[in-house]
Structures are given as structure tokens and as C-alpha cells.
Structure 1
Amino acid sequence: MRFAGGEVAVGSYEEAGVSIDAGNRAAALMRAAVESTHGPGVVPLPGGFAGLYRLSGYREPVLASTVDGVGTKVLVADELGRYTSLGADIVNHCANDVLATGARPLIFLDYVASGRLIPEVVAGIVSGAAEACRELGVALVGGETAEMPDLYGSALDVVGACLGVCERGELVTGELVRAGDAVLGLASSGLHTNGYTLARRVLADAGVGYGDTWRGLGRTVGEEYLEPHRAYVRQIEALRREVEVRGMAHVTGGGLVENLPRALGGLGARLRAGSWEEPPVFAMIRELGGIPEDEMRRVFNLGVGFCVVVGAAEAGRALKILHGTGCKAWHIGEVVENGGTVEFA
């Protein structure tokens, strides 16, 4: 159909750039994976406009919620054509944020937006999220898939929201932290989901490709960059059953320097540089980019993905429990009275 002036009229939503059929196909491809995360707490509501969850067994429940995205890590996945790990990234990132409050993650919702919806790509991301949810005992109760060519162009965005719950008395606020307490660091799996704008720029400027290798990595740079964000839910649950945990921090953007003080109730920390194992990917980035150590510490986790604060006398037992869960962990420093800052010795 043409107007008198010769301009082509847009006759459908698909011709304008959005495919309803592709969205429906994506939903069909991911349905089984999503439903596989549903336990007895999920209230069935076919065709509902929101996910429902039955909350029971709590005397004074407190809800904890968070929302975050995987950022420019999606550009690495796009370059390599491998997207499934992004689902685990966003589930584990959000679950760790909820965990740091003292709550247990219960439900998760995803948001995948793109300029052009490819059902298999979206289904792969959501299937990866569902697998991560099953491992953590979290219900994937809903989500949104959006196709917006005018906004995203060829880009992809992956976002998630998580809701958890605990008794009011189980909250970990940092109020119990005292000078002299031990700071324990739990091993990260690598970059997790932070610092990718710098990490990608370093490779580009140095002429290093995702298919290249680097000493110590044991795999390609691309495989290292796509390593999923590690979750700590099972490990912290095991620890809290045996030891009083006074503070917790998820080490994301800002590194130990900015995230650890948030868990210390106004106190600070003195950390022993070199007291934990740093994955070789950080040495690669440091060397290729000529990045100063202060900047590395402000951008990356440098091998510590989560911190817990326990009484000094409990440090050894706490480490034994964490090691028993299969988690590498180290006594990396102590709490000190230095006004909410982190020092490195």
C-alpha cells in the first residue's frame, strides 16, 4: 500500500520492527525451564499478569529485594555467540545481593530486551537463569521479553530482580561488627559481572582477541570473560547454621574498597594484600592496560567475590565450614576503627 506521495505505509507491527510471533515462540521455548523452578510456594495462576508466591512459616518476616543487570558482559557474549551463561550471571548476582542482607533468596524475575528478538537466544538466556535458580532453590516466577529496535538497535540487555525473606532477627546489618573481628573472603570465579567496559577496552587497545590465550588462563580470553558470576547462597547458609555472622558484603562494582565498608556498621578494615588467590585474568588486565593498583582495587573484585565478618575466635571454624562446602575462602584481614575505609597492608 502506498500513499499518494509514494511513501510506503507500515501495515503491521512486524513491519515496524517488532515480531509478536517471535515473542510467542521465545515464551514457548523457555516455558518448561521456567516451570521446572517452581516449588510448593509458587501459586499457579495460568495466564496471570504477575507471579504469585505463598509466604508461610514466618513470625516477623522482612522482605529483601534487589534489581541489577549484567552490563556490557553481553557484548562479549554477542561477540562469541554464546548467551546461556548470562542467565546464571544475573540470577547469581541478584541472589548474592539479597543474601548479603541476611535474607534467603526466594523468587526471581528476568528482563531481556533487544533490538531484534531471536527466540533461541532469549530462550537460552532464560534457560540458563532457570538452571541457576534450580541450583539455589529459587523460583523463577515471571519475566519480560522486549523487542525495541528504535531503542536498542543491535544491542541486548539482560536484567533481573530478586526477592528474599528472613525473620527480622536474622537480618545482618553490621551493627554487631566490632573492631578486631575477622574478615573472611570467599573466592570469586573471575570478573563476575563488573568492570567489563574497562576489561573489554584493555583487550581492544592491546589487540588481543577473545579467541586468544594468555599465560595462566588455561583457556581462551573469551571463555575466561564469560565465566559465570558465582553464587554463595549454599555456602553462607551452611556457615550461618554454625557461626554468628556479623557482616556480609557482595563484592561488585567498586571492589573491596567500596563494598566491604557497607557491611561494617561505620567501622573500617585492614586487609592483607596477597592473603588470597587472585585469578590470572586480573594480572592480564593489569599488565595489558598498565592499570594502577588503586584503580584495579576500585573496579574489580580481584578474586574475592563475597566477604563475611565473624568474631576473631570463630575465624578458623568458619573457614573450615566454608572449605567443607567446596568454597575457597581465606582470612584476609581485620575490622579496625578507621572511619569506614579499607586499608591494604
Structure 2
Amino acid sequence: MDDNKKITYADAGVDVNRGYQSVAKIKAHAASTFNKNVLQGLGSFGGFYSLDGENGDVLVAGTDGVGTKLKYAFLSGRNDTVGIDCVAMCVNDIVCQGAKPLLFLDYIATGRINPDVVADVVKGVADGCNQAGCALVGGETAEMPSMYGAGEYDLAGFSVGIVKRDKIINGQTITPGCALVGLASSGLHSNGFSLVRRLLGEDVEKLDADKSLGRSLLDAILTPTRIYVKNVLALAAEFDILGLANITGGGFIENIPRIFPDGVGCKVDVKSFPRPDIFGLLAEKSRLSDAELYNTFNMGIGMVAAVRADAADSFVKRANAIGEKAYIIGETVSGNGVIL
């Protein structure tokens, strides 16, 4: 690897523009299925389906996978935590709408079923469901010879939550001058791993022996995604949370503006919260700018809440008291997008 060459997400084989183009092309197909119970289309952190008219219960659904983080799991034989990632990627989206996750289903596909590996994976899924307070009510395991390499599998999930219509958190009341509070991530979470693998390689024995970050680099890579559900719901019961953004693929740059009305942007102080060492290592190896890093990784913040400025200090204090690491990381402003 040329130490002077910038290594981007596109260099790792991921072109985010293709993803944006795909969403644009499929929106009309999805919209053709909507009925009066669908409250909004694609583009938020969950899909809404009203059960009881204007003031009743609303279901919020989300689906996602673990992505190429799975490579490190099956190369190392550590398959018992990626299920937590799978649950987290779904329920952290659902809770952004103020919804309590009710149930979860998983899907595991592989070329040849290894019962011990499947059991380890589902153990992780169950652990994640317990952290989120939802029930693992079913799933599917598919054996598809020749579709996957030896020892490889894919893992995805689907979750449904519920919220009263008048309690939905949707960002519509966010105005310039609100505070942004960040809740610390547990590390990489489960996005950007095509670039991570390009930068750090896939020699799991070498990564396990590397203690340059004070622990095994493989341990840091496989640390499961933090699940925020219970604490976010507790905070929502005490504070008026105006908007919530799950910081996954697209980092700060893509995800935070998703909760803002038109004409509202934000300023984020990247020095207002600690950046875990794993991101410093990736920054060094990739030579990416801050704007590029914060458009790919969570950089140490896994969830962002918009609250009124006069409530921010109390919100942070309470979040810290119940087990989160919370920081005031910025404010909303007139305009669009994210200013770092």
C-alpha cells in the first residue's frame, strides 16, 4: 500500500452514489403499494404503518444486515457477537422514531449449514434482543450450495416496533438554535467495513496479536454495535426529544440532516467528544480528510439527539446517569447539511 495515497470507500469497492441512485429508482415502486395507513415513504429511519387511525398506535419497521464485518467473524471463528450487530442495526433505527421494538426475525444464508456456527450466531441475536427488550419470534436459515464460500454466511434481520402517533419523533419541530447531543458509540459498529478490511487486512491472527490500541485489534474490530433502545426510551419519557439520528453508513454527513426540516442544518464541533483510537488508526492509514471520515464512520458517536438548548445540560446529565456517555456536540443553524 502506498503510504502517500488516499484510500477511499470507492477504492474499497463501495460507490455510495450507486446506492443513492438505487433509492431514487425504487421509491416509485414502493409508493405504488402504499395505502392510507402508510404514514410516510422511504428515506427516514423506519417505515410507518398506522393501526388505529389518526391518534392510535403506529407500527415502525426496520430491516438491515451486518455487512462485511461478517468476514472477520467467520475468518476468526468468532460468530457469537455479530448477531448483536444485526439486531442493533434494526432497532437503533426504530427507536429513532420513539418506537419501542416489539419483535425481531433473523435470516441466515450459507452454502453449507454448520449447526454450531448457526447456534453461535443466533445466540448473539438473542443477546441483542434482550438488550433491546424485544422478542426473537422466528427466522429463516437457508442452505444454498455454491452461493457462498466455505465457512461463509450472510446475516440480516427485520424488526417491528410500536409508538403512539402523537409520540412519534420526527424532527419536524427542529429549528435553528437547538442543541445536538451525541451518545458515544462502542467503536466501529457495523458500517464502513469494506474500507476497514482494505485498510487493516484480513489476517485475523496478525490482528489478534496486534495490541497497539491497548487491546487486540481484532477485539476492537469485532466489538458489537451499541444498542441504545432502553436508554433512549427512558430519556424520551423525561425529555422532549425533537429528533434522533442513528449514525451508521454515511456517518454524520448523511444521517444527521435526515432528521431536519428544510432550511435547517447544523454545526458539529468534532473536538467536543473523544475519538476512539480505532478511528485515529483508520484516519492515518486512509489519509482521508475529516469530511470524508465523518461521511463514512461514526467517529465515536452512535446516536445524535436534537433537544432544545435550555434542556441540553440536563439531558446530558441524565443520559450519563443511566449509563450512556453523552456530549453536547453542536447546534442547529439556518441552512443545509453539516458543518464540521
The TM-score bracket by the shorter chain reads: 0.7 to 0.9
What residue is the counterpart of 2:277 in the other structure? 280
Question: Displacement of 1:285 after TM fit?
Answer: 1.0
What residue is the counterpart of 2:6 in the other structure? none
The question of whether the paired residues in 2 share the 8 Å contact of 1:238 and 1:321 is answered with no
The question of whether the paired residues in 2 share the 8 Å contact of 1:203 and 1:209 is answered with no
Question: Displacement of 1:170 after TM fit?
Answer: 0.8
Q: Could you say what the CA RMSD is over the residues aligned between the two structures, in angstroms?
A: 1.9
Instruction: Indicate how the Cα distance of structure 1 residues 271 and 75 shifts in structure 2: closer, same or farther if over 3 A, else same.
Output: same
- Does 301-310 or 143-152 show the bigger shift? 143-152
In 2, distance between residues paired with 1:72 and 1:116?
19
User: 1:206-285, aligned counterparts within 5 Å?
Assistant: 209-215=206-212, 217-266=213-262, 267-285=264-282
Q: 2:111 aligns with which of 97, 109, 115?
A: 115
Question: Displacement of 1:120 after TM fit?
Answer: 0.6
Figure out how many residues of one structure are paired with residues of the other and give that number. Answer: 287
Gaps of at least 5 residues in structure 1 are 1-54
Does 2:314 align with 1:304?
A: no
**Cα deviation code 1:185-240 (max 9, x no counterpart):** 0000011000011011101299993223253x221111100000001111111211
The question of whether the paired residues in 1 share the 8 Å contact of 2:63 and 2:90 is answered with yes
**Cα deviation code 1:30-65 (max 9, x no counterpart):** xxxxxxxxxxxxxxxxxxxxxxxxx99x96011110
> What TM-score comes out, normalization by structure 1 length?
0.80
In 1, distance between residues paired with 2:122 and 2:320?
31
In 2, distance between residues paired with 1:262 and 1:343?
15
The one-letter code matched in structure 1 to 2:333 is: V
What residue is the counterpart of 1:316 in the other structure? 313
SS of equivalent to 1:277: coil
User: 1:22-101, aligned counterparts within 5 Å?
Assistant: 60-101=56-97
Q: 2:167 aligns with which of 151, 167, 170?
A: 170
Q: 1:161 aligns with which of 136, 149, 158?
A: 158
The one-letter code matched in structure 1 to 2:170 is: T
SS of equivalent to 1:97: helix
Q: 2:139 aligns with which of 140, 143, 154?
A: 143
Structure 1's consecutive aligned runs of 4 or more residues displaced over 4 angstroms after TM superposition are 205-208
Question: Displacement of 1:92 after TM fit?
Answer: 1.4
> What TM-score comes out, normalization by structure 2 length?
0.81
The one-letter code matched in structure 1 to 2:198 is: R
What residue is the counterpart of 1:131 in the other structure? 127
Instruction: Indicate how the Cα distance of structure 1 residues 110 and 184 shifts in structure 2: closer, same or farther if over 3 A, else same.
Output: same
**Cα deviation code 1:117-137 (max 9, x no counterpart):** 101101111111112212222
Instruction: Give percent identity, aligned residues only.
Output: 40
The question of whether the paired residues in 2 share the 8 Å contact of 1:98 and 1:104 is answered with yes
In 2, distance between residues paired with 1:257 and 1:59?
34
User: 1:305-344, aligned counterparts within 5 Å?
Assistant: 305-339=302-336, 341-344=337-340
Q: 1:295 aligns with which of 284, 292, 295?
A: 292
What residue is the counterpart of 2:195 in the other structure? 198
Question: Displacement of 1:289 after TM fit?
Answer: 2.6
Gaps of at least 5 residues in structure 2 are 1-50
SS of equivalent to 1:146: strand
Question: Displacement of 1:277 after TM fit?
Answer: 1.1
Highest Rg: 1 or 2? 1
The one-letter code matched in structure 1 to 2:329 is: I
Question: Displacement of 1:101 after TM fit?
Answer: 1.3
In 2, distance between residues paired with 1:299 and 1:173?
24
